[in-house]
A and B are shown apart, each in its own frame.
Chain A
Amino acid sequence: MPTVNTPGLSLQRIYSYVNRLPLFTRLVVAAIVLFEAAAILLGNWWDVRAWGALAPDELGFGSLYRTNTYPLIHTDMFHLIVNLVSVTPMLDMFEREHGTLTTLALFIGPLSTLPALLYVGAEKYVLGLHSPVMGASIWAFLLAAIEAVRMHRVHPYFVIAGQSFPVWATPLAALVVTMVLWPKTSALGHLCGLAVGYICGLGLLKYLAPPEKVLRWIEGRLNLLGRLPHYVSVDQKTHGRFGVLPMSNLGATPVLINAATASALQLRRDPRILKLPPYLSLLCIVVGVAWLLLLPLDQYSRRTYISENALLPGQVHTYFSGSDQNVFRAYKHEVNALVGKSNAEINDKLEPIVKGLGLKTARQNFTYHAAGHTYAGENLYAILQAPRGDATEAIVLVAAWENVKHEINRNGVPLALTLLRYFKRWSLWSKDIILVLTPDSIAGPQAWVDAYHDAHDPSRVASLPLKAGLLQGAIAIDYAQESRFDSVHIVYDGVNGQLPNLDLINSVVHIAGGQMGIGVALQEMWRHDNGYSDRLRTMLRGMLKQGLGLPSGPHSSFIPYHVDAVTLQPFGEGWQDEMAMGRVIEGTFRSLNNLLEHLHQSFFFYLIMHRERFVSIGTYLPSAMLVAANFTIMAIALWVKSGQAPEAAASKSKADTTTTPPPTPTVERDLFLPLGVVALIQSLSIVPLYLFNHAPESILTPLFIAFTLINTALPSVLSHLLTQTYAPTAQQYQLVKSFSLLLLGMFLSSLATLNFSLALLTGLLAAPLSFAGPCRSRRTTTCRAAAAVLLHALGPPAVLLAAAAYSRAGVAAVLREAAVGWHVCGTYSPLVVWCVWWPAWLATSVVVLGKGEDGDGDGEGKGNGKGNGKGNGKGNGKVKTT
């Protein structure tokens, strides 16, 4: 069956599905949701979970109700979602088959009580434990077991890699997977569910079901059918085969790769499962986002801790105070006198001062061209050689003349000078200390670091005449505000979303917050009540910055070279003076000075949501991977489907006989046209990348407008050309989309390891692409128009515009920033937008507007909307005609 509703999973279809849920299923779902709501709302007065959970010890005659309530109660939102998602379809099927009354009787009675008793028995008297369980997953496994037994009767084996596995064992596999994924779930409980399910599936529990004529009698007397909506009568119930359920639904969603391959294998068996992938991938996206929203909760985030023992933050007494303040004032006078002077004059003034401290100084010129502007300047830097050390390691102190907001660093520069003078007196430095004074916060540090590692282009950036050893860390001072301050703001995002080692941030937090009693803020969260919303906001801001990948301060350029760096930024009105700031830096330097090894212990991938809470990669990566995986699933589904048309016919012919359809699709896919189209579109993507990165700022806006116009026309033009020249078939359109989605998924999942946030953002923005499909033959034009509008609303240009509007910067400014990042710091966000997202978008638009013989999509869609056999018939009828 070709284009069934695999493409174009619309809300209306979900709605209709929900609408068709039978009565008891609805009741169960409602009850579950209500209980959860109660648990959340009345949490303080009435602990639902304690009340309803199946706790072996508290199970007496008075509390037998627990054996019925426990499936309706869940530990948390996530648990709830997963269970609902897995139980509802199966319960739906079960009820459709057996009728509401039977289902009611069974599920209120034995099917929840038996597993409960079994569990209690095993837990309490065999294992001697007493951990309470709850959740509908037990039903899920029970139903799965029943279903698996039935499936086993139909065709006993399915084959993976030459091995043939018995179908009845699949729930066991699911059980294992669940155990692995959530160790905290009660495997024993699930096992009980399975056991009962198997027994029931083998028909040993028939006698538990109420006899039919009783049911008929009840129905007759009460006229339930008339009174109750969505009631499934004893007569209505369908006698056909149970709908097949994907194993992945039991194995609960996040096992997508397994799910994908498993379904790919199953697809050979049962074309009906073709309905599944869109839901599956929608599920991926939903779960991915839900996952992200769960992270700030205490169960999912962790407290920060220092894992590098050598750091010993805040263990030393700091002496930076007293008469050094007089010196600081003097230096500040000097610096104030220089405000407004040119870069060269400033350096001419500052160099003798630094020399006067007994340091070796040197200068470096640099010139960058980006977006028609020239970013040139001269860095001044000085090396304080470690008194007894050898030139093997160094720590860097950066004080840019201007910060990113182009405010003069009035206090930072004198503070840095005073600190260096103070450090010179100590003999305990084991590493050289390098003071870098840069004219600006982006280009200057970048040029210096590049030259330090000889990764610079000699024609634009001069190489350094003076060098020390390996850079072990860098601290940048951004102290532009005049008045005294209240707290310190730690800026830690590097170029392309790379982050410094978490230990560095932790030690600064320790020293400032713990030792000095200075507040610490992250991500411009000036005040932070350690609550859910603030955590979430901090995390999202961090992700946004990470995703944009632009430098956020002088420290950003260091991080790509594996030099851990942060910028310290005093803010707020308080009573802390410059000396306090100096002591924070002194403490940090002493900690870095203690380091024996390069910082490597702690995390490099994390999301910080509070100064003492973070999430490490293991916890958050799945959400991006899920989003990326949804594309892959759709790609696989489309691929399989594109090879399947005649097989459906075969299966139809053998519909009643239980012989399985032939495993190998006999239809040949012709790959060359789709491959060509995808390759062409991918290569097209060079054009916008080059244009927007090399156009001068003045013409950026007109260029963007022009591009948007062309971009609007491009899909229809391309699809028109395609139709005119090659007249591609529906299958080829599917293949085009499959390949582009595959590429997208691949790019995103590899990007997720480099820059998680960027991958997630792109994935979410591109999510609609996996659902947009060829339109139905009826009301084609309107549908096409609608789809086109929708796609354009979510296309790169529109999103860029929105971003510009949101940041109130104007498109030109946004594009200029991107270009500067691209040329100076090597930010690759533009590459991702133009060479990953845009091609996928274009390909999908072409497919959507494509005029292939995709008429059968409609019939399929409707056909599959309701019952299955008919859908096949209709679909195959059309397939034959094509």
Chain B
Amino acid sequence: MRQFLSLFWLSFLSLVFFSPSAASAADYHEQLVLRPLPQSALLASFNFRSNTTVSEFEKGNFRFFPRSLGQILQHAGTRELHLRFGLGRWDAESWGARPWDGAREGGTGVELWAWLEADTDEEADRKWLTLTNALSGLFCASLNFIDGTRTTRPVMSFQPEGDHATVSNLHLLYGVLPHEVVCTENLTPFLKLLPCKGKVGIATLLDGHKLFDASWQSMAIDIRPVCPADGECVLQIEQTIDMVLDIERSKRPRGNPIPRPPPGHELPCDTSKPYHSHDTCFPADHTANQDWSLSQIFGKPMKGTCPLTDPTVPPVCIHVPDTRSVFVSEGVRENKSASGASRCFEIPPSADFDMVLPRPSESDPAANQTPDSAIVPPETPLLYAERSFTGHGQERGGVQTILRNPSPDAAVEFIYMESLPWFMRIYLHTMEARVVAGAGGSAHARARPDESSSLIQQVFYRPAVDRARGTQLEVRMRVPPAATVFLTYDFEKSILRYTEYPPDANRGFDVAAAVITILDPDHPGPRSDQGSPAAGAGTSSSSSRGSGGGRRFAAYTLRTTTLLCSLPTPDFSMPYNVIIFTSTAIALAFGGVFNILVRRFVAADEGPEAGLAVLVGRLKGRLLRGAGQAVKGKS
């Protein structure tokens, strides 16, 4: 072990004299960044990026750029495309800020927004339809269900990340499918887009079982034209996979995933308890971060590196304090970053790579501190958001979003965007924002209109049209420092035609996550750099901002959880009965009325004389007589 360590240090020293050169535009690189999180969680973000010059692209000469996707883009006139597959929820309280400042993640389900080149809205819609259908085929996702009712045109929330200096007539369309369940059949085409197809390199770690057993995971595809100050524009595709693995769960062998109770003697007990005995065991505190190895977590070691990748970009980085020791397999060179909180590894092309993160030993200085100091403490996000329904019953309800600004001094300004289905009729006049100083929602804070107006600076509202268009709501707000803001509004649930309900009508309808885009204060502070998990590697840190330049729009993006809205349901077995009953009721009334109208009275004992002609004659006569009398009466 000692020799191994010494070799380790040697390799590091030798690495110091290297200095990473700037990445050229038309190349491919991939990088895996590991970041242990509190409560035995591990964030692994995979990032693959490849460029091709626009001119080549126009010629149909894609290099690393996936051909299948490229043709779709050309066919649908798409200039910039963002596709997200999300699953699970990011636990901001314990995991802190989101990777990539939330720029590379979507809400639960599938999210797609793109800038299409079109002259009119109709043309844009047509191209959008083409795009969604093609993508749904490509990614085995039901993107083709993004129809008019699920498509919105955000005005404030999104800005193009790429440079579109040349084209002017761009249309931004945004569609979301909250109910879509992301699974392996979406991962496979995703990997197919990579130059190395997941056969070698960090992509070999991507295994469906592990990925979709993660507590939170998000797959992203971003395509944008990037025009560096010098040189020609390149079309850049960036594929990102972020996942938070529960180390304890991932270390379970594939053989028996069932968490049987461990044998009594293996149970970590708190022996300080007075009643502690062989059959009584107060479980020791939730093990903060255990030892793990790459092959344990991902089920297999990493197979070499992709030969196409840019050698200057280290393929694997991990964020742990320098005080902790990390063991890696032979021939791997480690170089620590200046910040002292991350280190990267350079891996020989054809060698399996494994990494062991041992439990901080007694000799380790990290041990005599709190267990959380064994990992890089996650930074607090700019804003905490939690959205939930209020009220009960299937007639009407309310939506309440609790927005908490943790920073003691800086106010946060952001855009809150909701795209709601048309059967949730929101009442805008009930929307109010009330601020509660300090954390924790206290129900006693009363709404003050002046205050809420100061909180809400700008509202963009596009009401829904039944069966044609969903509600689009964008609110520009600012939350004062160290304050909690309750944003609430009421809505009414409308009842649908029985053919419009899904098969599991009583489950309810998913409501897409709200997108919160925190606007960047004019001068990007230094803190914004540490947001990216790839802080170790300079190139990706700059590129992770999107569009490389300093011109950044969103400092931080976060999405709330989706909601489940239960609508009133009719009885689906009733159509015939309803038609029959209602018709009967109408027939009774109609028959009753006209029966009395057209038949005339006779005494019970008088004989009947009937005949339609007679009746008509009588009616005519009656009317004429009436008119005649009227005339007489007047004259």
Are A162 and B596 in contact (CB-based, < 8 A)?
Answer: yes
In the complex with contacts A162-B595, A325-B279, A392-B510, A453-B392 CB distance below 8 A: yes
Interface of B is mostly: loop
**Please, how many angstroms separate the alpha-carbon atoms of A741 and B347 in the complex?**
92
- Which of A161, A324, A389, A596 is B507 in contact with, Cβ under 8 Å? A596
A357 at interface, CB cutoff 8 A = yes
Are A469 and B279 in contact (CB-based, < 8 A)?
Answer: no
In the complex with contacts A388-B88, A597-B506, A462-B443 CB distance below 8 A: yes
In the complex with contacts A356-B286, A453-B391, A330-B504 CB distance below 8 A: no
Are A392 and B275 in contact (CB-based, < 8 A)?
Answer: no
Are B443 and A458 in contact (CB-based, < 8 A)?
Answer: yes
Interface of A is mostly: loop
A561 at interface, CB cutoff 8 A = yes
Are B280 and A333 in contact (CB-based, < 8 A)?
Answer: yes
**Please, how many angstroms separate the alpha-carbon atoms of A452 and B510 in the complex?**
20
In the complex with contacts A390-B561, A427-B213, A463-B441, A162-B592 CB distance below 8 A: yes
Are A322 and B280 in contact (CB-based, < 8 A)?
Answer: no
In the complex with contacts A323-B281, A325-B279, A391-B89, A357-B249 CB distance below 8 A: no
Which A residues, 727 to 779, have Cβ-Cβ distances below 8 Å to chain B? none
In the complex with contacts A322-B263, A330-B283, A427-B213, A562-B596 CB distance below 8 A: no
Which B residues, 187 to 241, have Cβ-Cβ distances below 8 Å to chain A? 212-215
Q: Mark A416-452, 1 if CB is under 8 A from B, else 0.
A: 0000011001110000000000000000000000000
What residue in chain A is nearest B280 (Cβ atoms)? A329
**Please, how many angstroms separate the alpha-carbon atoms of A465 and B561 in the complex?**
16
Q: Mark B96-116, 1 if CB is under 8 A from A, else 0.
A: 000000000000100000000
**Please, how many angstroms separate the alpha-carbon atoms of A453 and B392 in the complex?**
6
Are A598 and B507 in contact (CB-based, < 8 A)?
Answer: yes
Q: Mark B68-106, 1 if CB is under 8 A from A, else 0.
A: 000000000000000000011101010000000000000
In the complex with contacts A323-B267, A421-B283, A561-B213 CB distance below 8 A: no
Q: Shortest CB–CB separation between residue B430 and chain A, in angstroms?
A: 14
Q: Shortest CB–CB separation between residue A541 and chain B, in angstroms?
A: 30
**Please, how many angstroms separate the alpha-carbon atoms of A470 and B510 in the complex?**
12
Are A388 and B441 in contact (CB-based, < 8 A)?
Answer: no
B444 at interface, CB cutoff 8 A = yes
What residue in chain A is nearest B263 (Cβ atoms)? A323
Which A residues, 376 to 398, have Cβ-Cβ distances below 8 Å to chain B? 385, 387-393
Are B214 and A388 in contact (CB-based, < 8 A)?
Answer: yes
Q: Shortest CB–CB separation between residue A414 and chain B, in angstroms?
A: 11
Complex contacts, A333 vs chain B, CB 8 Å: 273, 275, 280, 282
Complex contacts, B88 vs chain A, CB 8 Å: 387-390
Are B283 and A356 in contact (CB-based, < 8 A)?
Answer: yes
Are A454 and B267 in contact (CB-based, < 8 A)?
Answer: no
Q: Shortest CB–CB separation between residue B265 and chain A, in angstroms?
A: 9
Complex contacts, A360 vs chain B, CB 8 Å: 93
A327 at interface, CB cutoff 8 A = yes
Sorting the interface of chain B by its residue count into under 10, 10 to 19, 20 to 34 or 35 or more gives: 35 or more
Q: Shortest CB–CB separation between residue B186 and chain A, in angstroms?
A: 15
**Please, how many angstroms separate the alpha-carbon atoms of A598 and B509 in the complex?**
12
In the complex with contacts A322-B263, A392-B561, A387-B279 CB distance below 8 A: no
B349 at interface, CB cutoff 8 A = no
What residue in chain A is nearest B214 (Cβ atoms)? A388
B611 at interface, CB cutoff 8 A = no
B54 at interface, CB cutoff 8 A = no
B458 at interface, CB cutoff 8 A = no
Are B596 and A392 in contact (CB-based, < 8 A)?
Answer: no
**Please, how many angstroms separate the alpha-carbon atoms of A465 and B388 in the complex?**
11
Are B392 and A391 in contact (CB-based, < 8 A)?
Answer: no
Q: Shortest CB–CB separation between residue B433 and chain A, in angstroms?
A: 17
**Please, how many angstroms separate the alpha-carbon atoms of A470 and B213 in the complex?**
24
**Please, how many angstroms separate the alpha-carbon atoms of A770 and B596 in the complex?**
37
Which A residues, 155 to 198, have Cβ-Cβ distances below 8 Å to chain B? 157, 161-163
Most buried by B among A319, A324, A360: A324
Are B108 and A329 in contact (CB-based, < 8 A)?
Answer: no
Complex contacts, A665 vs chain B, CB 8 Å: none
What residue in chain A is nearest B279 (Cβ atoms)? A326
Which B residues, 590 to 625, have Cβ-Cβ distances below 8 Å to chain A? 592, 595-596, 604
Are B392 and A561 in contact (CB-based, < 8 A)?
Answer: yes
Complex contacts, B285 vs chain A, CB 8 Å: 356
Are B215 and A388 in contact (CB-based, < 8 A)?
Answer: yes
Complex contacts, B592 vs chain A, CB 8 Å: 161-162
Are A388 and B564 in contact (CB-based, < 8 A)?
Answer: no
Are A465 and B440 in contact (CB-based, < 8 A)?
Answer: yes
Are A454 and B390 in contact (CB-based, < 8 A)?
Answer: yes
In the complex with contacts A330-B273, A333-B275, A392-B561, A387-B286 CB distance below 8 A: no
Q: Shortest CB–CB separation between residue B141 and chain A, in angstroms?
A: 17
Q: Shortest CB–CB separation between residue A775 and chain B, in angstroms?
A: 40
Q: Shortest CB–CB separation between residue B253 and chain A, in angstroms?
A: 14
Are A385 and B91 in contact (CB-based, < 8 A)?
Answer: yes
Are A562 and B392 in contact (CB-based, < 8 A)?
Answer: yes
B562 at interface, CB cutoff 8 A = yes
In the complex with contacts A333-B280, A421-B283, A454-B391, A319-B564 CB distance below 8 A: no
Which A residues, 8 to 48, have Cβ-Cβ distances below 8 Å to chain B? none
Are A388 and B259 in contact (CB-based, < 8 A)?
Answer: no
**Please, how many angstroms separate the alpha-carbon atoms of A163 and B588 in the complex?**
12
Most buried by A among B276, B442, B566, B604: B604
**Please, how many angstroms separate the alpha-carbon atoms of A575 and B562 in the complex?**
46
Which B residues, 293 to 352, have Cβ-Cβ distances below 8 Å to chain A? none
Complex contacts, A329 vs chain B, CB 8 Å: 275, 279-281
Complex contacts, A323 vs chain B, CB 8 Å: 261-264, 266-267, 281
Complex contacts, A453 vs chain B, CB 8 Å: 390-392
Q: Mark B235-273, 1 if CB is under 8 A from A, else 0.
A: 000000000001011000000011111111011010001
Are A598 and B506 in contact (CB-based, < 8 A)?
Answer: yes
Q: Shortest CB–CB separation between residue A456 and chain B, in angstroms?
A: 8
B39 at interface, CB cutoff 8 A = yes
B508 at interface, CB cutoff 8 A = yes
A600 at interface, CB cutoff 8 A = yes
A810 at interface, CB cutoff 8 A = no
In the complex with contacts A319-B259, A319-B261, A458-B444, A357-B286 CB distance below 8 A: yes
What residue in chain A is nearest B259 (Cβ atoms)? A425
Q: Shortest CB–CB separation between residue A349 and chain B, in angstroms?
A: 13
What residue in chain B is nearest A362 (Cβ atoms)? B440
- Which of B504, B563, B596 is A596 in contact with, Cβ under 8 Å? B504
Are B89 and A385 in contact (CB-based, < 8 A)?
Answer: yes
Q: Shortest CB–CB separation between residue A705 and chain B, in angstroms?
A: 42
What residue in chain B is nearest A336 (Cβ atoms)? B275
Are A598 and B258 in contact (CB-based, < 8 A)?
Answer: no
Complex contacts, A462 vs chain B, CB 8 Å: 442-443
Complex contacts, A161 vs chain B, CB 8 Å: 592
- Which of B281, B388, B389 is A327 in contact with, Cβ under 8 Å? B281
- Which of A163, A326, A331 is B267 in contact with, Cβ under 8 Å? A326
In the complex with contacts A319-B260, A463-B443, A600-B506, A454-B398 CB distance below 8 A: yes
Give 8 closest A-B pairs by Cβ, nearest first. Answer: A425-B259, A322-B261, A458-B443, A330-B282, A454-B390, A597-B506, A326-B281, A392-B564
A-B contacts besides A319-B261, A387-B249, A455-B391, 6 pairs, CB < 8 Å: A321-B261, A333-B282, A357-B286, A388-B88, A462-B442, A462-B443
B contacts, CB < 8 Å to A: 39, 87-89, 91, 93, 108, 212-215, 246, 248-249, 257-264, 266-267, 269, 273, 275-276, 279-283, 285-286, 386, 388-392, 398, 400, 440-444, 504-508, 510, 561-564, 566, 592, 595-596, 604
A contacts, CB < 8 Å to B: 157, 161-163, 319-327, 329-331, 333-334, 356-358, 360, 385, 387-393, 421-422, 425-427, 453-455, 458, 462-463, 465, 467, 469-470, 561-562, 596-598, 600, 660
Q: List 19 A-B contacts (CB under 8 A).
A: A162-B596, A319-B261, A321-B261, A326-B267, A326-B269, A326-B280, A329-B280, A333-B282, A356-B285, A357-B286, A387-B246, A387-B249, A388-B87, A391-B562, A426-B259, A453-B390, A465-B440, A561-B392, A600-B506
